[in-house]
Structure 1
Amino acid sequence: MTKTEKILSNHGIRPTQMRSKIYKFLKRKQSAVTLREMQKIFVLKSEVDKTADKTTFYRAIKLFEEKRMVHQIDDGTAIAKYAVSDENVANTYGTDLHMHFHCTDCRKTICLPNKIPEESLPDEYEVNNVNLVLIGICKKCREK
C-alpha cells in the first residue's frame, strides 16, 4: 500500500486509483485548483482513463472535503478552488484557520502560512469554516 493509499485509508476513504491520483496531485500543488483545471491536467498527462469524468473529480473532492482533507476557497472569482488542508499535530485534518492570497494578474490563489491564533476566537462560538482572502499582485507578477 502506497503512502497516499494509507493516508486515504486512515481517513475512512477507500483508496481507489483515481482518488489516490487526485489527492496526490492536490498535495503537490503550490496553489489552489479548480475542478476544470484538474481535469485538463489529468487528461493532458493521460492519467485519466476514459471512464473518469467531471463527476468522478467532483465526488472525490467532495469526499476529501467531507473528511476535511481538502478545503474549498472562495477567492471572489465565482469559481470554487481546492487545496489540501493543513494537518494538525495528531496527523488529522481540521478547520484551516489561515488566510489565502489571490493574485489578480496570474489568477493563482495560494494558502498563506500564518495561522489565525485560535485564542483570538471567542470561546462561546464554534468555527466550522474560515474564508479569508487577500487580493493583490503576487511577488512573481510584481517582478515582471
Structure 2
Amino acid sequence: MTTKTEKTLLSKGIRPTEMRLKIYKYLQRKTYAVSLNEMQKVFIAKSEENKTANRTTFYRNLKTFEDKRLIHQINDGTGVAKFAISDKKARGKYGTDLHMHFYCTKCGKTSCLPNKISEDILPDDYEVNDLNLVLKGVCKNCNKK
C-alpha cells in the first residue's frame, strides 16, 4: 500500500527511498523552516555504527527535493540556509514560491507566511525565478510570553 508521502514523491518523479521519506516527513512535521545544521544532527550521525545517512546522500536528496519544488530554501538574513515544505497554493506561474517569510528576532525561528504574493506587481515581460521576502519581528508564540 502506498502512503500519502510516497504518492507525493512519486507525483514529482522522485523514487521514495527510505531516506527520502524520512527527510520529507521530518520537514512536514516542522512548523518553521529548518536549518541544514538542525537536519544534519538528525540524519547524519557522528559514528559509523549509528549512521543514518552519509553526508553526500543527504545533500543530494535535499537538492532533488528543491529541484522538484517539494521544498524551498529560505535566506532570512541570518547567514544560515533554512528549508521548508513548499505550498502548492503559493506557487507562481513560473513555479516559484511566491510568499513571504517571517523571522522572529526573539526565538530565531523562520516561518512561511500563508498569503501568496501577487504576480501583478511585475510587467508581463518579466519572469520571476526567485523570490525572498522576509519580515522581521516577534512571532505570536514569543508575543504570548
Aligned residue in 1 for 2:58: 57
**1:12 and 2:13 correspond:** yes
Q: CA deviation at 1:8?
A: 0.8
Is 1:28 the counterpart of 2:45 in the alignment? no
Shift of 1:88: 4.0
Aligned residues: 137
Kept in 2, the 8 Å contact 1:35–1:57? The answer is no
User: Contact (CA 8 Å) 2:44, 2:54: kept in 1 or not?
Assistant: no
Q: Structure 1 length as normaliser, TM-score?
A: 0.86
CA positional deviation for 1:129: 1.0
Per the alignment, residue 112 of structure 2 pairs with 111
- Residue in structure 1 matched with residue 98 of structure 2 by the alignment: 97
Structure 1: gaps of 5 or more residues: none
Letter in 2 for 1:3: K
* Root mean square deviation of aligned Cα: 2.1
TM-score (norm. length: structure 2): 0.85
1:103-134 deviation digits (Å, cap 9, x = unpaired): 11110000001111122222110101110001
Q: Which runs of 5+ in 2 are unaligned?
A: none
Q: Deviations over 1:32-85 (max 9, x none)?
A: 0012212324579xxxx6251333221111100001111100001111000011
1: CA distance, partners of 2:116 / 2:132: 12
Asked whether the 8 Å contact 1:101–1:109 carries over to 2, the reply is: yes
TM superposition outliers: structure 1 runs of 4+ over 6 Å: none
